[in-house]
Amino acid sequence: MSPYSIKTWFSNRVLFEPQGNLSEAELFNLSLAKKCFSLLDSSVTYSHIDHSTLDTMVDTSRGKVFFEYLSSGFKSTLFILLGLIKEIEFNMNPKVKISDFDGVILIDEADAHLHPYWQGPFVDALRNTFTNAQIILTTHSPHMIQEANTEELIALGIDEEGEVLELDLFKSEHGFKGWTVEEILEDVMGLKEARSNKYLEIKNKFEHALDNEDIKQARELFDVINQMLHPRSPMRKVYELQLGSLG
C-alpha cells in the first residue's frame, strides 16, 4: 500500500461525503479514519481537504498545518491504520463497518521504520480501531511488549537444536507494563547484555582495582564510568560507595 493510494482513497471519501453516495459502512469508516489522527496524538485532529490542492490539513498545537509537515513517524503510523481501513473496505463485499470486521490482521515486524516514541501508542491505536479483529503482529520492540497484556504476548526463542519454541515467561496480570526496556530486552527477548562492551570493560577493570585495593586506578576508572553513565543512573551512587570503601 503506497501512501499516495491511501491519501487518494481518503480524499475521495471526504470529497464525496456531501454527495450522499457513500454507504452507511463507508460513512462510518470515514469517520473512524478521521479519528485515527487523534488516536496517536490527542493534540492533532483532522481538519479538512484543501479543495484547490487536495492536501490534507490538520489542526495541531502549533496551528493548522499540512499533513505532510507532521513527523515521519506519525505519518508512517497513520498510513498503516488508514491503509488497513482502506484494504478491509475494498476487500469486503458487502462493505462492513470496521468495528464489525472480525477477520485476522497480520503485521510482520510492526516496529519497522517506526520511531520508538510511536511504537507503544501504535499498539493501543490498533486495539481501539479494529475492535473485533484478531490482530497478530511480530515485533522486536520492547516498547510494544510493554503495552501488551499478559494474554496477548507469545515470546518465541530457539532451542539448542535450532527449533522454535515458546518461552516460559514470568506471568503477571499487568503484563510487562511496569518493566523497564532493559529488563524486557534481557529477560523477555534474551539479550545477554544491554550495555556496551566498552562500558563492561571499564566496569570490570574498576572492580579489579577495588579487589586489589588500587585506589589510584579505581579513582581514574570511576571518573571514566561517571562520564559514561546516564545523568540519572542509580549506579553512580553504587560506584561511589564502592570507591569510598577504599578510604
Q: What is the mean pLDDT of each run of 10 residues along the chain (247 residues)?
A: 88 91 94 93 93 91 92 90 94 90 94 86 93 94 90 84 83 83 83 84 93 92 94 89 84
Show the cell assigned to 149.
497484556
Q: Are 110 and 153 in contact (CB under 8 A)?
A: no
* pLDDT for res 36: 94
Q: What is the DSSP string of 3-39?
A: HHHHHHHHHHHHHHGGGT-S-HHHHHHHHHHHHHHHH
pTM of the complete model beyond 0.75: yes
How many C-beta atoms lie closer than 10 Å to residue 238's C-beta?
10
| Helices 215-228 and 235-244, packing angle to 10 deg | 170
Can you give the residue ranges of every domain in the chain? 3-147, 197-244
Report how far apart, in Å, the C-alpha atoms of 127 and of each of 98, 103, 121, 136, 239 are. Answer: 12, 14, 10, 11, 44
Rounded CA separation 203/236 (Å): 12
Query: 3-147 maps to which CATH number?
Result: 3.40.50
Helices (H) and strands (E) in the chain, counts: 9, 7
Which of 101, 133, 80 shows the shortest CA–CA distance to 29? 101
Q: What is the reported pLDDT for 247?
A: 66
